[in-house]
Structures are given as structure tokens and as C-alpha cells.
Amino acid sequence: MQYSDKILNTPSSFIRNILKVTGEPDVISFAGGLPNPISFPTEKLREAINNSIDVHGTKLFQYSTTQGYLPLREFIAAKYKKTHGLDIHPDEVFITTGSQQALELIGKVLINKGDGIIMEAPGYLGAIQAFTLAEPNFYSVTLEEDGLNIAELEQQLQKPNVKFIYTVPNFHNPTGITYSAEKREAIYEVVKKYDVALIEDDPYGELRFRGETLPYIGGGRLENSILLGSFSKTVTPGMRLGWIVTKNKELLDHIETAKQATDLHTNIFSQYVIYEYLANNEYKEHVDNIINLYRIQSDAMLDAMARHFPPTVKYTKPDGGMFIWVTLQEGVSALEVFHAAMEVKVAFVPGDPFYTHPENVNTLRLNYTNSTPEVIEEGIRRLGAILHAYAPAEKVNA
Amino acid sequence: MQYSDKILNTPSSFIRNILKVTGEPDVISFAGGLPNPISFPTEKLREAINNSIDVHGTKLFQYSTTQGYLPLREFIAAKYKKTHGLDIHPDEVFITTGSQQALELIGKVLINKGDGIIMEAPGYLGAIQAFTLAEPNFYSVTLEEDGLNIAELEQQLQKPNVKFIYTVPNFHNPTGITYSAEKREAIYEVVKKYDVALIEDDPYGELRFRGETLPYIGGGRLENSILLGSFSKTVTPGMRLGWIVTKNKELLDHIETAKQATDLHTNIFSQYVIYEYLANNEYKEHVDNIINLYRIQSDAMLDAMARHFPPTVKYTKPDGGMFIWVTLQEGVSALEVFHAAMEVKVAFVPGDPFYTHPENVNTLRLNYTNSTPEVIEEGIRRLGAILHAYAPAEKVNA
């Protein structure tokens, strides 16, 4: 058999592959990006399921519409009004099989082979995978502590056939950074001059444990704004429910055709159930509980890093979300450190898969949402000992 | 915005679009392809859900593996042993978001722009849509009453870069025909000489109300055999669970990468629940009930057609599944008849969307699974009156 170029060029998920290695019970894993299962509203979802079956019966089990369940789309539209003051019509909301599918559909609908996509460097590896299937040229823009580098963005927008810019403006995966209000404004001023779409992927935006919600970069004001959202980090990832919001009707029509051809429609049972859950529970209270949990875990990790890491190692201090990004000294291979850390049963994700043109980088991602503060302390202590071995001699004693 | 060539070339589902027109409650619709909702084991599924939550708790709601839930894959493997005597290893089973996704993944993994796909004419429109996204050249082979025309198949296999042949050998959509044992053997003898995959898509195979189960064409003996299956027609379509079976490990590895990039994994909640349902209920008894229901409906439609249709109109007599295929006299436009039938509130699907190079054909598809025998009688009576108007004068009085 001969396989397609696009699949031969698509990286298989480094994370999913290393999770196979790091999955043993005695490994302390900061590698995954999983929500903490104690945050799942299991009994409330059971109630929602039983109520939905009582009320809607066989409708939960039949084929359904490609666009998604209307009451759920209405709920999502109303949520944007509440959180960001945006006027979104339910018909501008499109339900997807997780927001991973949203990425893949957008790539399919907008990208001809060789068209340009502007990506954050580093950026979300699931997006790199999804877009690669459409065989684009990736143009990288350095992600700084407050968002994209503006000069580089301007420069990359000159490249031929750039179709969209992909960003994760809140509690970024993998870095944990949040775009500043000023940087958002600056990006908007640049992007509005071009006929490109701006994707703001926001799976973590509700999980803010410090500071105030910031306005979207393009959402609500840019003609080709695309907002992505998900219930994976706030209710359940297992049910695979995400969504796309855009006011570009032609784009949504094409996405509907792509979705029909891809999986007909999103699991309708799950759409009824999540809506029923959202309609009958204090969603904000539930999210606040997750935030409190993750704040404690994040603080525990940052505190342990301050004590155990050599001072030459730099890292971000997230205001929300699930990740901390670590920059080792220039020249240190995070992949090499990964193997050394696995010897002492600690796992993380080396930085390479987060770049569209990976080299042997000195950066790595830590996740704190799936370990208790005690386990975090122990894991960071072990990792710190490894990092000291890679730090320059004069700094070890600092 | 400029959209991709592949999406501009992908037909949006004619059926889904006409369902919007035909959805009004006073329309008698033979247009859809929906299972009868009275066949859904709603209360048994509720039990399975509650038991699954009791036993597995948060695992139903967390991220999961791309390949699919192992006990479900084991169940599917064992089912092939029971029904067809095939030795399938659970690792040769891959769970997809409905079998529509299986089609799309296979197109992605095997097709470069311009590669060849051999399709039945007429063939399943969802497959035409899914494969179109990979920008292939379609090569048609006439579907006869007992399967593909062998001479045409041989001829099309000479075309450049043909990657696979797509078939629905049992109770075919849209025609309702079943490939004969002899034709299966003849196709096998041809295909085994070529380095191509043979897809046997079999969503309806269990719904046989006449005759014996036939062996697959390539399943169990062809190196690049791909079998597709689904729980959509036997348990629930709303939960979107299908699967791929192949012994080609490299192909499955690429499918896994494509699936990761497309939607990470299939809804794990639904996988637990369907497995729990299958493990604790008499699946065969349940399927037998569906078969009995559809046999009655099929008989009612064929009986009404014999009485109400002009004798110049030909149609298939399915041994299972959900569809009857009608061939009007040469020169009659099924699309024109569709509009006339909608005037008297009867809907069906004109043949055009089932061809890769549609012209104004004289064929149409009727579905019988979603109407009672009384409604079928009334709908076919109205449709018969229309068809008489299109029949030649001498035949109207026959």
C-alpha cells in the first residue's frame, strides 16, 4: 500500500506516545493535559442523563442535525454575552466533536496545499497535527510573555496565501501565558488590515484563578473572527463536545458540509445531556470549584520549583489553565532531560512537538492539574535534582 | 475569504438538504435513512448507563485512547467469529465516530489528490462526500442486481493509482441489492491480483430478513481487506459508534494518527455504555425484533408498489436492510417526479446524489423503515398516481 503524503507528514502525537511510557502507576506524570477527574460532576451528569431520557426519550438515540442541538447552541451564545458582552446568534454557533475537530474542519475548509497558516511558536501540538493534514506552509511567530511578537506577525502576514492565524490567548497551551490587553489591541490593529481569519482557541479561558477576564482579540469586531470553545476542561472531555463561533455565514456553511462528510453530526445524546446539566446546575459554582483546585495545585508546583530548581531555569507563572512552561539554559536538550527524569520516574513533555519545525529545544511543559500537592512536591524535587546536574557548576551552589 | 478547492468540490448532502423540506409533519417521507426509533433499546441503555457509572465512575468522562475501548473491540472481534468465522484480533479493530468517520479517515490516509477510487454506480452518497474531501478521481463500476460488473471492474483497475474499491455488499445503500456468492468470488479473484484495498462497508448486514449470511468478499482472505461496521442501525445512531477492521497494521497505525489529529478519540462514555448494553443483553434477540419490524414494512411497501405503480416501473426486492431502488422509464427525470410528489406531500431521494458524475437520472431511493404499513400504503398510492402520469399512455391502461 502507498499512503498519502499528508498522513506521512503528520506527526503522531508525541504526548499520546509518551503517555504509553509514562502511564505506569509509579511514574509521577506532569506530561498529560488531563483535567482532574475529581472535577467531573459525575452524579449531576447521571441526573441529567436520566432526566433527558425521561423528557426526550428516543430523540437522544436517533440521527440528528449537523449544526448541533439548538438549546445547547443558545446556551453557548448566552454565555458569550454574559462573560464577554458579545452578541452571538445561536446560528453562529456550530457544535463539533471536541474542539480538536473544529481545528481539523477549519483546516479542511480554508487550506489548499501550500497555503499559509500563522502559528504561535511554541503552539498547541493538536493544532499542528490537525492543520498538517491540509498540507499548509506554517509560518511561525514567536510567542512572548504577553502574546505574539508584533513585528514578526506583520512580516509573516506578507507571506503568500496566508489564510489564518491560530492563537490560544488565555492560559496558553503549552506555555500557560495570557495575552495582555495591550498586545490584543496591537494584534487587532494589524490583523484587521488583512483578509485572513483569526482563530482564538479558548478551552481554558474560564479557568482563571488570578486577574480579570480580558476581551477577545478579534471576537465581536473582526469580520473573520473564529472563536473556539469546549466543555472538555469544565464538564467532561470524554463526551467530546466543542464548538465554533463565527459571524461569517459562508464559512459556517462550508464547515457544515465538511462536518457532514466527516462524521455527519456530533453525538446527540451527549449534547442533550450536557445541555440538561448546564440548564439545571450552577455552572459558575462548579467552575469556581475547579479553579480553586487548580490554583492550589499551581501554587504547589510554583512553590516547589522555587525551592528545587536551579536559578538558571526560567518558567512562566500562569494566571489560570493547566500548564507551566520551563526554559532551561541555552544548549540543554529537554529531550535528554526527559530521559534522565524518566530514570527517576518523573515525566513531562519536552518542547519539540510544540514547534512546527522542531529542533532539539531547551523548553518543556509541566502539567499540574492531575497530581496532589504532595505528589507535585515529590516530583518537582526529583526533577530539580536532575536539572541541577545540567546547570552550570557556579550556579549549582547559588 | 478564499475557501479550499476540496470543500468547494464537496457536494453538501442532498438528503440532509431535502430533509429540511420534507421534515414537515404532514409529509410522508420515504427520503431519510433513519432506523425506526421504536427499535432503540432506550430503557436497556438507561440501565447500561447507570451500571457503567456505578462501576467505572469518572473513567466514562475522562479523555481516553484513540484506538477505542478494549472490551468493545473484543466484543466486535468475537462477533465476526460468530457471524462469519473470521479470526480478528481486538487490536485489528479500531473504533470511529460513526462509520462515516471511518470513510473520511481512509480517504485521508490513502488518497493523494488525483489518486483513483473505484465506486459502485450508484453508490453510497456519504462515501462520495467523505472521499471527495481527499480530491480523488472517481472511477465508476455499474452495480448490477448481483454486484459489481466484473468486466468494468477489471477495466477500471487499470486506471492510474487506484488505491481502493468501495463496496456495500449487503442490502446496499441506495439499491437494497445484495452481492451474490458467485459475484463475491469473482470479485475476489480479480482484486487479489492488484495492490489495492477492498472496503466492504456493512452497516446493514445484520438486518437480513431472507436467506443466509454470505461470506465477505475479501474479509479474512485479502491482504488489504477493510471491513467497516456500525451500531447505528442496530443499537443507536445518536451515539455515533462505528469501527474499522483490517489486518494491515501499517494502515491502522496511519489511521490512528489521522484519528488523533481529527478528533483525538471517540466519545468514551458511549463506548462504555454500548459495551455494557451488549454484554448484558440478548443482542441477537434485539436484532431479530428489528428484522421482524423491517420485514413487515418492506413487505408492505413492495405489496403497495405492485398494486399502485405502473408496470413500466422496475424496482429491487431487498432481502434485508432499509431501501428499495426504483428505476423509472428511460428519459423520465426522477428529480421532476420528486417535485411533483412533493406537491402531494410524498418524499423520496432522486437518484442523482448517488452517482459521482450525476446527470438527470431516472432512478430513485425509497426507505421503508420509518413509516407504518398504513402510511406506506397511502404514500405509495399517492406516488403511484404521479408515476402513472409519467408512464407511456399505452401502459397506463395495462
A234 CA to centre of own chain: 13
Chain A residues close to B322, C-beta within 8 Å:
none
DSSP letters of B154-206? Answer: HHHTTSTTEEEEEE--SS-TTT-----HHHHHHHHHHHTTSS-EEEEE-SSTT
> Regarding predicted confidence, which is higher, B354 or A11?
B354
pLDDT computed for residue B19 by the predictor = 67
- Which stretches of chain B drop beneath a pLDDT of 70? 13, 15-17, 19-23, 393-398
3-state helix, strand, coil in chain B (%, to 5): 45, 15, 40
Q: Nearest CB to A112: which of B4, B129, B232?
A: B4
Average pLDDT, integer, range A306-319: 97
Q: Nearest CB to A53: which of B42, B163, B265?
A: B42
pLDDT in tens, B84-136: 999 999 999 999 999 999 999 999 999 999 999 999 999 999 999 999 999 99
Phi-psi region of B240 (alpha: psi -120 to 50; beta: other; left: phi over 0): left
Class of domain A58-279: alpha beta
pLDDT computed for residue A12 by the predictor = 73
Phi and psi, residue B323, nearest 5°: -135, 150
In chain B, which residues fall in CATH 3.90.1150.10? 5-40+284-396
pLDDT computed for residue B398 by the predictor = 42
| Count of beta carbons in the 10 Å neighbourhood of residue B82 | 9
Q: How far apart are CA B300 and CA B374, in angstroms?
A: 8
Per the structure block, which three cell numbers stand in for B236? Answer: 443507536
Residue spans of alpha helices (H) in A280-333: 283-308
Query: B33 to chain A: nearest residue by CA?
Result: A63
Mean of pLDDT over chain A: 95
Selected residue of A3, A103, A132 to mutate for chain B interface (largest B Cβ count, 10 A) = A3
Residue B10 to chain A, least CA–CA distance (Å): 7
Residue A336 to chain B, least CA–CA distance (Å): 25
- pLDDT band (50, 70, 90) for residue A394: very low
Residue B386 to chain A, least CA–CA distance (Å): 30
pLDDT computed for residue B284 by the predictor = 93
In chain A, which residues fall in CATH 3.90.1150.10? 5-40+284-390
Query: A65 to chain B: nearest residue by CA?
Result: B16
CATH number of B5-40+284-396: 3.90.1150.10
DSSP letters of A230-267? Answer: ESTTTT-STT-EEEEE-S-HHHHHHHHHHHHHHHSS--
CA angle at B59 for the pair B102 and B73, rounded to the nearest 5°: 35
Closest CA to B345 of B324, B323, B327, B371: B371
Q: Is the pLDDT of residue A350 over 60?
A: yes
| CB within 8 Å of chain A, chain B residues 300-339 | none
Long-range contacts of B85-90 (CB under 8 A, 24+ apart): B85/B220, B86/B216, B86/B219, B86/B220, B87/B220, B88/B245
Query: A57 to chain B: nearest residue by CA?
Result: B42
Give CA separation, B267 vs A98, A142, B238, B302, in Å: 9, 35, 11, 39
pLDDT in tens, B359-392: 889 999 999 999 999 999 999 999 999 999 998 7
Tell the CATH superfamily of the A5-40+284-390 domain.
Aspartate Aminotransferase, domain 1 (3.90.1150.10)
In chain A, which residues fall in CATH 3.40.640.10? 58-279
For helices A98-110 and B249-263, give the axis angle rounded to 10 degrees: 100
pLDDT computed for residue B1 by the predictor = 85
A263 Cβ under 8 Å from any chain B Cβ: yes
pLDDT computed for residue A1 by the predictor = 85
Enumerate the β-bridge partners of residue A325: A365
Per the structure block, which three cell numbers stand in for A53? Answer: 431520557
Q: How far apart are CA A20 and CA B58, in angstroms?
A: 20
CB pairs under 8 A between A and B: 241
Query: A38 to chain B: nearest residue by CA?
Result: B58
Residue spans of alpha helices (H) in A39-180: 42-56, 70-84, 98-110, 125-132, 150-156
Q: Is the pLDDT of residue A11 over 90?
A: no
**Inter-chain touch B263–A100, beta carbons under 8 Å:** yes
pLDDT in tens, A87-105: 999 999 999 999 999 999 9
Q: Nearest CB to A263: which of B101, B115, B236?
A: B101
A293 Cβ under 8 Å from any chain B Cβ: no
A55 Cβ under 8 Å from any chain B Cβ: no
Sign, Cα dihedral of B78, B84, B88, B92? negative
Residue B91 to chain A, least CA–CA distance (Å): 16
3-state helix, strand, coil in chain A (%, to 5): 45, 15, 40
- ipTM higher than 0.90? yes
Class of domain B42-279: alpha beta
| CB within 8 Å of chain A, chain B residues 218-237 | 224, 232, 236-237
**Under a CB-based contact definition with an 8 Å cutoff, are residues A264 and B102 in contact?**
no
A108 Cβ under 8 Å from any chain B Cβ: yes
Kindly tell me the burial class for residue A144, based on how many C-beta atoms sit within 10 Å of its own C-beta (0-12, 13-18, 19 or more).
Answer: middle
What is the DSSP code (8-state) at residue A59?
Answer: G
A58 Cβ under 8 Å from any chain B Cβ: yes
pLDDT computed for residue A98 by the predictor = 98
- Give SS3 for A198: strand
